Structures are given as C-alpha cells and as structure tokens.
Structure 1
Amino acid sequence: MHSRKESPSSIEQITEKARELEAIYDVVEDPLVLIDSDFKIQRTNLATINFTKGFTFDSILNQKCYQVLYGRKDICPYCPFASNISKTQNGKSSPTAREIFFKVEGKKQTLNLEFYPYPKTEGENWIVEKISDVTKQREKEEESFRMRNLASLGILISGIAHELNNPLTGISLTLQNLKANLITATPEQIDKRLEMIKNDTARAAMIVSDIISFAKSDKVKITLGDIVETIKRAKDTVSRLFPHLSKNINWKIQYDNEYQFPFHPAKMERLFMNLFRNSLQAFDYRAGEICIDIRKTRNWIHIIVEDDAGGIPDSIIHKIFDPFFTNNKSGTGTGLGLSICHSIVKEHDGNISVKSMDQKTRFTISFPVGDSSEQTI
C-alpha cells in the first residue's frame, strides 16, 4: 500500500488557516491562555505577551501559568483546577469566573478571570483562561456610587431644610402676630395661637426624631403587646394628624383574633404610622380605601396593608426602602419613612415586602411569634 502524502498545496492551505487562527486570537485585546492539567501554558495570544511583560511566544510555552501570569510560587487559590468548583453534578466541567486584585508595577488592577474547560481527552480537562482588565470599569462604578451617595445626601439635606422650614416659619409668624396683638387679643385668641405654636413645634420634633431613629438604633425593651390595638392606635393618630388627607379614606381593619407577641409598642406604632402616612400621601386628597388584614400562620404574624392609590411604578419599586428616596410629587419630605419601617421590622427579626399591581400597593409585614418573656432588641 502506498502511504498518502499531503500535497504542497494542502500544506500551504493548512499553514494559511493556522495563520488566520493566530491572527484571530491576536486581535483579541484580552489575554487568552490555554493551560494543560499540569498548569503549563500550551497556547496563548499576543495580548498575553503584552500582559506578562518580558516573555516571548517561545519562552512562555510550557511554563507554569501561575508563575508567568501572576508571579506566584504556588497554584492560585481561585484556580478551578485547585478545587471541584468547576464540576457540575453530572461530572462535567462548566465555565467559572473570578474577580481578583492584582498589582502591576505598584498599581492595583481589578481583573476579571473567566475559565472555560477544554476536554482534551476522556477524563482530562485543559482550560482556557481569559483575563479582562476591569479596573476602569470598577473605578467608574465606584465614582458613580459616590455621586449617588452625594446626591442622596443632598436630597436628605434639602428635605430636612424644607420640612423644618415650614414649622419654623409658622412659629415665627404666629409669634409675630401674637406680639403685635398681645394687648388687644382675647384669652381664646392667645390660646389658639399658642396651640398653633405647639403643633408646629411637635411637627419639627417629629422630623428630628425621624432622622435620629434612622441614624441610631438603640437597644430597647420589648414586652408582650396586642398588634391589633397598636395598629388601631396608629390609624387613629394618622387620621388625627392628617385630617384633610384622610377625609375621604375608607379604612378596613380585618382580623379574627387578638394577636399578642413581644414587640416594642412605640416603635411598632411608628412603623404603621409611617406606612399609613405613605398611603395617605399617595392618595393626594383623593377618595380611596386602605385595608389592613391581620393573619397568623404556624409561627408567624402577617400584617397586610393595601391601598388603591394608584400603585408604584416598576421603575422605582425596588428603591422605596432606600434611605432618602422619596417619590413625593411636591418634592418635600425626607424620604426616611419607609427606611425607618424597614429598620423597625428588622429590629424585630421580621420581614417586609412590597408588591404593586392593578393600581394597588400591598405591603406585607411578617413577624416571628416568639416567647412572651421580656426580650431585648
């Protein structure tokens, strides 16, 4: 039998294809490295040579990848070969990724490493490693985060200034009016103006209290309380504080039992006052309904607060528990109300979630039912 020989044209074609593949690899800006099961580099591209600084194509081959790429003496701790992290349940390898910090000439870089398994033979996997420098991207993200924080701080300061300015202006004008008419004013008129000053002072104190409650969470004693009575008190207080907003609101409180468990009464009342106030502001003086449904499962108390004030847009619903976020149309408010709600719920080891559909918003608050003995949170 005659042995089959490749014609010169076939060899040239294969060589040309090899050059084309090398050209494709070399135009990739990120280093690509083929590593065998002994951690030795078998193939690489031009970007890898530039990344390693000092190696050539010939000198880099068959060198240990962790020595050449990262200047390490031992295997990288995040290497898929060093653990079973690249194995799936059926025994096959799957791609993995890691983000690391790496110093080059004294400068810290953030690298995103992607590992793609290459089944060389049955039972043996090689791996293709792709190295992406994401330093600038992460720096931009950090800068954006800092800018968002500054913007949030600006919103907070603006909200506090606006909110405090209203009651302080009211106090100032009332005092001026009282001073100008002190001699001629009747006792009833004086009492009326003093009551106005008292209300404005209480309003300013509540704003300060909101900020303190958010910024500092002191450990407080919790005792056995009735959640139904607490919710009713919160509803009555909000209706009294916001008579015009609640004028056309129909309240429904549904429960089939008295539910008692340990909680801090003042904080729990504050929680529901903030939720109810949020709903009232969403109605914006329109008629509507606020439903509170109190239920109990095996080990949890669930309180569902639902209003039909128009719902929350999908674009902002994930932000409503963020500190300083507000969707108030007038641009007022500190944006701390729902953040404080979230903090109080977490202090009681509970959960709070929100859903919006069919022009309705539903908050679900759940608390674990623990022992009735006094506790500290």
Structure 2
Amino acid sequence: MIDIDQVRSDTPSCANVLHFNNAGSSLMPRPVFDALQRVLRDENEVGGYEAERRAQEDIQAFYSEFAALLNAKPDEIAFVENATRAWDMAFYGLHLEPGDRVITHASEYASNYLALLQQSRRLGFEIDLVPSDQTGQIDVAALEAMITPRTRLIAITHVPTQGGLVNPAAEVGAIAKKHGVLYLLDACQSVGQIAVDVEQIGCDILSGTGRKFLRGPRGTGFLYVRQSILDRIDPPFIDLLSAKWTGTDSYELAPGAKRFENWESYVAGRVGLMEAVRYARSIGLANIETRVTTLAQDLRDALGAIDGVSVHDLGARKCGIVTFTKDGIDPKGIADALRASQINVSVSPVTCARLDMDARGLNALTRASVHYFNTHDEIGHFVNAMKQV
C-alpha cells in the first residue's frame, strides 16, 4: 500500500495545483528537489568540478539504482540528457544498409519516426509498419509474419504519447528473440508508472526520460543497452569520456554503456534522477502501477459520462494517460480553461503522432495523466471543472 498522505506531503505542490500532466513533466518529490539543490549549492559555493567530486557516491549510485529498477546490470546503463537523445545514440549507431528493413507501429512517437525517415533516406533501408489489432495495440501475429531475412530492427514505443495504450512489449520481445532481430523500445512514458523489466520484455535497447513518471528533473534521461549487443552499435559521436585516445591514430570505446555518454553533463540532474529512482523503488513499482491504472480508469469512466466528451484511449491494456475531446471545443481551449482553474493538463497534436491520429481523423487531443500522488477527490474536481468548460 502507498501512504498517500506521506507522498503528498513529500510533494508540496499538491497544495497549490491539481497536476494531471505527469506524462508531460511530473512534480518532483522533496527528496529529489533537495538532492538537486544540494549539488547546485555546492557548485555555487566551491565550484562545479569540486561539487562533482563531492557527489561521486550519488553519481555512481545512478547506475546501480537504474540497474535495480530495470533488472539490468550497472554497466548496461548510461546517463543521457533526454529520452530522444538516448534513443538517437543507439539508433544512429546501428549498421543499417540498403535493402534492410525496420519494423515499427503507428503509435511511434514523432521524434523516433522522423529519425527513421531521415536514416532511411540516408542509408536506403525500408520502413515496415505493422498493423494494429482490434484493440489498437500492435498486432503481434502480423508482426511475426512481416519479418524477413532482411529485417534488422523492431523499434516500437511502449506507451505512446497520445493515449493510454500499453503495447505488448514482452510479446514483441519474444518474437524478436526467436528471429534474432534487434529490439529497440522507447519507454519514455512507461518507466516510472508501470513495472519495466528488460529481461522479461526481452528488449536489447531501451530509452527513457527523468521528468515524466519517474518524477525527476528536466534535462535528464537514460539508456539501457544489453551487454551482448554493445559492439553492434557504433556511437554516432564520441568524446574523451565515451572513448580513450590510445595513440595518435587510435582510440578505444569505453567499456559498457558509458560509451554513449558525454563528458559534460548535468551533474545535479543526474543526482536528482538517481534520487527519483530511489524514491520510486521505495514505494514499489507494482504498487505504483496498481494505483495509477485504477485512478486512470476511474477518470476515463467519469469523463466518458459527461455529455459531449469522447475518450480516445486504445489498447487491451491501459495506463495512466487519458486522452479525450469535447464537442465544439478545441483541445487547447480546454487546456487553457483548466489552467485558469489551477488544473494542469497538456495537448497532444497530430504532429506528435501523425500515423495514428491521421488514421483516426484526430487533429489534437486533450491529455490528462495521473500519478500515484493524485486522488479520487482530485478526479471529482477535474470532472466538475470539465463539465463547466
């Protein structure tokens, strides 16, 4: 069980705002904010390098905390400044050639699909779009049927930005392993709100962010790369941290996933993100998942009962993201009206998920995303506010 009074006490902002924008950027708990402040205060008082030396224990704990969170090894974890760059560092380093094929799904996030388009033009590989099943999630049987001898990569998003869908990541992983295909999973919206186990899922690469459901600071992200496939990726750029200059004309990549890191990084953010992972693990991801899933479904049900409101979440399994429209009102107008009442939501435009939203005739959606520190009273308040919009 989660001590809701305690976690809300650890989140002082709960007293000032109704925050249903956790899929955008969640509220930091006090221990995370304190960890950030501690490093920043040291930087101000003794200097940046000196502050980093003081924080070495916490910096190293970043790797062990993430390893425990994802069921990985510490040397399979890298700190990257955001989820997109983490995804890019792996994807742009893959050896893809003309005639190769990459499989993805209509729920893919805009940044990822833009990278696929760019590299397909540069390198000449083909993009295959796996269809959805009747629930809107990846059709696993169709995915397997699409694999050819030239299929080199399956790249999917675990939880899309534009809805509550949770794609069947483990089932995809079993197919990828069966056919010996690399598997890249964008877990930007899943890590922190549902349990994510890289061994159970079977992904080779996983990327994510700190600011969303992990409740960490902005400007932080992470990358997991399975040890056994490290040498199949050539980092798109390196520096004196990710590689060692061994001779005038030679270098060696850093061991493990550190070859995907930069020497210069947001030290306070790294420590803050480590503390966010530690905080989430202290609550328990299974506990978090149960509460978030329940709150979100209650919100869907309540919104669906409002005259003129349509809920647009797909999938056999759903998470803490709830997307909806209201007849005759632009989603941005809804978000603005709610913000005036100290209620935070966000808007998912078609440009974030064109393959999915174009097919459904959607130009934009209002997105409300709950977390474990939210309450049923807040859902009631939110629904009443929506009735007035």
User: What interval of TM-score do these two structures reach, taking the shorter chain for normalisation?
Assistant: under 0.3
TM-score normalised by L of structure 1: 0.24
Structure having greater relative contact order (Cα 8 Å, sep ≥ 6)? 2
Q: TM-score, normalised by structure 2?
A: 0.24
| Greater percentage in strand | 1
The structure having more radius of gyration, on CA atoms, is 1
